[in-house]
Structure 1
Amino acid sequence: MDNSPSKKVWIKFRRNKLALSGLIFILLLMLMGILGYLIMPDDSPNANHQMVQIAKEKPGAKFTFMIVEHYPQVEKVGFFERMLNGQKPNFKSIPITSYRIAGETVFATEFIGEEKATETKYSLKDLCPNCKVPSTLGTVEMLFEQHNIYQKTFLLGTDIYGRDLLSRLILGIRVSLSVGLIAVLISLFIGVSLGAIAGYFGGKTDAAISWFMNVVWSLPSLLLVIAISFALGKGFWQIFIAVGLSTWVDVARLVRGQVMALKEVEFVEAARALGFSTTRTIIKHILPNIAGPILVVASANFASAILLETGLSFLGFGAQPPMPSWGSMIKEHYGYIIMDAAYLAVLPGLAIMLTVYAFNVLAIGLRDAFDVKGQNVSV
């Protein structure tokens, strides 16, 4: 029977059904974020295929589309390229309510909302060069419907620009999780380094680093991130650094306290007696013994980073259009909360709430599993 510490931690964590559900939810989000364009209804780059005729349509809306132009110059990208960056559309289509074919002419009634639309004439030869008769493949109507007509259902509706809301929500997962991950890695690198140095050496080194931590700690996180964003500029990559530089203090304070408690124990004294360097003593002997509390605070910081990113995107400092972000989606649609299209802002808000809640319950589950309740770990 495996009685390793990691096995015991996993058994204790697994008993917490809420934390386990949070972990499963996060793993599902990660899978959806990685697959990205492969599972999105709209696989155009940034899910930015705009069709203003069908703007603000309710969830479950179904439309018939007619292809009116083909773009033969658009190359079909490979599997991984499509998964990462999407596929440019190779045709242009319009939503229609009806169509009919009379000779060499196609008469289509375009969907333009509640307003009445007149029929528009199109050349059958231009729209469908393959619709030639006689043909063993079927009649002109059958060929035209096969090559130029398709239906699409918008499961979560469309936004104010007629873009598929589900596709943009899925792509927003990449922004939130990638910002959270990189920000946590940055905060761990800075926080663990400064906290370990302050806790191990003490004295003036500890006083100087503690003073710096207190200065950063006293600044409101959102204002600090905004200030850093002003210095680095607006953009997707700048937000990684800005959020990471604002969340390292929690890690540093935790590591400092843990290192101060561990540096006097027997195995650390033995490492010093054997002549091991300070770097090796900290990395090989101290930090592995405080991995649990660090993992807990990292999980909590992941949730904080997502909230900071969405707040910055709402204010216009985060991911820039047309890249979808949950915060920018709320910014574009919050005015519709009091109208009949509240779902436009509620759905990304729910995505933020559920993701942050999942990371919080994961952090609580890890805290209980590692048994760090009595230590300086806040969730």
Structure 2
Amino acid sequence: MVPSKSLGNIALQKFKKNFWGVFSFSFLMICVLIAIFAYALAPDNSQNANQMHLSIHSKPPGFKVKMLTLPSNEVSQSGLSIFFFGKKTTDTEIPISDYKILENGIEITEYTSDGTAGLNKAYPLSSFNNVTKAEEIPSKYISEKKFILGTDKYGRDLLSRMLIGIRISLAIGFVAVFISLIIGITLGATAGYFGGRVDAAIMWLINVTWSIPTLLLVIAITLALGKGFWQVFIAVGLTMWVEVARVVRGQVMGVKQMQYVTAAKSLGFSHWRIITNHILPNSLAPVIIISAANFAGAILIESGLSFLGIGAQPPMPSWGGIIKDHYSYIILGKPYLAIIPGIAIMSLVTAFMLMGNALRDVLDVKN
């Protein structure tokens, strides 16, 4: 059987030979899997990984401490809800340095970071569920917790916040690029195909939007729509369509001169059919490349907005928000609190840029 020589197969074979393309694609797939299974992987699976322990704030990576868990009324929640949105926990966690079993309860010594003696508190047996003897409390409600990346300034597990924060970055990329493609392809194809006054009107809109600084426009849209998660998606998407529209317009203007388009017109096909079936499929290679770059741009814009305080709002974890909370720690001897999310943003953006470069090489007909 003769192997297929379609353009798709040829492009796929060329992509497989591109080391950085395959590497970046593999890295991005791992990031996507981490985003999907974030709460299953996170040590702190509470909603937004927001379990605070102020007595162990700003601890270095690898920090360990004993933790006493005080149970409270259980919140009814399905396993699927916990998987995607985290556990609506109302349990109280208390870092401790020591404990002593009492006849009808337990006495703990709270952890202190300065080495001084912590407060002693006693909790009766009734504070714990499914326990009949005080000796059972340590095995069921006291555990040693290790914070692999340390804790933030509120004593929250930094690794959990980072894992869940990747959802924000990838989601903003997907949604913003989707919105920009819908608007950009529609307006660009319309302008390039019909030309004349339609082209002039759309180009005027493109040039006006293009002349406004992207970050300023995003801030204006965000303030108009209000602060929040979905507002950022819409704001970023509404500012990234211009470049897509310009490229699609140029591609359509060239493709519509081809003989097969002229033949389609002579056969009486509708404008919609000609654009969607004959012109756009032969015009989208540059758009795919731009989309990869726009992914990277959307992640940077969202991080910038969160750093300014108008992106994802607390307690929702965002890499830009984590940097905002800890950038002052760079000069306070704990720079890793800001460097770790910074490296994560840099790695994700670099992967998308490498993917864009690989796609450019693969889809270049001259190679």
Provide TM-score, normalisation by structure 2: 0.95
Q: Deviations over 1:52-96 (max 9, x none)?
A: 0110010111111122x3213423x22211111111225322111
Query: Alpha-carbon deviations, 1:123-182, whole Å to 9, x = none?
Result: 45234465546xxxxxx54x2221121111111110000011111111111111111111
Contact 2:47 2:88 in 1 (8 A): yes
Alignment of 1:42-121 (within 5 A): 42-67=44-69, 69-75=70-76, 77-118=77-118, 120-121=120-121
Partner Cα distance (1:129, 1:280) in 2: 67
Match of 1:171? 164
Give 2:317's match in structure 1, choosing from 314, 324, 327. 324
Q: Which residue of 1 aligns with 2:353?
A: 360
Instruction: Give the letter aligned to residue 63 of structure 1.
Output: V
> Which one-letter code corresponds to 1:161 in the other structure?
Y
Q: Which residue type is aligned with residue 89 of structure 2? A: P
Whole-angstrom distance in 1 between the partners of 2:67 and 2:358: 49
Distance 1:311 1:346 in 2: 15
Gaps of 5+ in 1: 134-139, 375-379
Instruction: Say which of 250, 261, 279 aligns to 2:243.
Output: 250
Shift of 1:200: 0.9
Letter of the 1:275 counterpart: G
Match of 1:193 in 2: 186
Q: Distance in 2 between matches of 1:230 and 1:156?
A: 34
Q: Which amino acid aligns with 1:94?
A: I
> Scaled by the length of structure 1, what TM-score is found?
0.92
**C-alpha separation between the residues in 2 aligned to 1:260 and 1:271?**
16
Q: Say if 2:294 is the partner of 1:280.
A: no
Q: Is the 8 A contact 1:293 1:372 kept in 2?
A: no
Contact 1:55 1:162 in 2 (8 A): yes
- Equivalent position SS for 1:337: helix
2:230 aligned residue: 237
The equivalent residue for 1:144 is: 137
Q: Which amino acid aligns with 2:301?
A: L
Residue matched to 1:13:
15
The aligned residue for residue 377 of structure 1 is: none
Contact 1:13 1:369 in 2 (8 A): yes
Q: Does the 8 Å contact 1:158/1:164 carry over to 2?
A: yes
Q: For residue 33 of structure 2, what is the aligned residue in structure 1?
A: 31
Q: Is the 8 A contact 2:71 2:128 kept in 1?
A: no
The answer on whether the counterparts of 2:303 and 2:318 sit within 8 Å (CA) in structure 1 is yes
SS at 1:285 equivalent: helix
Q: Name the counterpart of 1:350.
A: 343
Counterpart Cα distance in 2 of 1:214 and 1:129: 65
Describe the SS at the equivalent of 1:107: strand
1:119 Cα deviation (Å)? 5.4
Counterpart secondary structure, 1:246? coil
The letter of the residue matching 2:122 is Y
Quote the Cα distance in structure 2 between the aligned partners of 1:284 and 1:74. 52
- Judging changes above 3 Å, is the alpha-carbon distance between structure 1 residues 121 and 178 closer, same or farther for their aligned structure 2 residues? closer
Query: Which blocks of at least 5 consecutive residues in structure 2 are unaligned?
Result: none
**Matched residue pairs, number?**
365
Partner residue, 1:217: 210
Say if 2:39 and 2:83, in contact at 8 Å, map to a contact too: yes
Shift of 1:204: 2.0
1:227 to 207, 220, 244: 220
Shift of 1:208: 1.9
Q: Distance in 2 between the 1:307 and 1:261 partners?
A: 33
Cα distance between partner residues in 2 of 1:188 and 1:280: 19
Distance (whole Å) between structure 2 residues aligned to residue 265 and residue 259 of structure 1: 10
Query: Which has the higher mean CA deviation after the structures are superposed, 226-235 or 119-128?
Result: 119-128
- State the Cα distance separating 1:347 from its structure 2 match: 0.8
Please give the alpha-carbon distance, in whole angstroms, between the structure 2 residues aligned to 1:342 and 1:47. 21
* Identity percentage of aligned residues: 48
Q: Output one character per residue of 1:316-354: Cα deviation in whole Å (capped at 9) or x when no partner.
A: 111111111111111111000112211111111111100
| 1:137 matched residue in structure 2 | none
Residue 257 of structure 2: aligned partner: 264
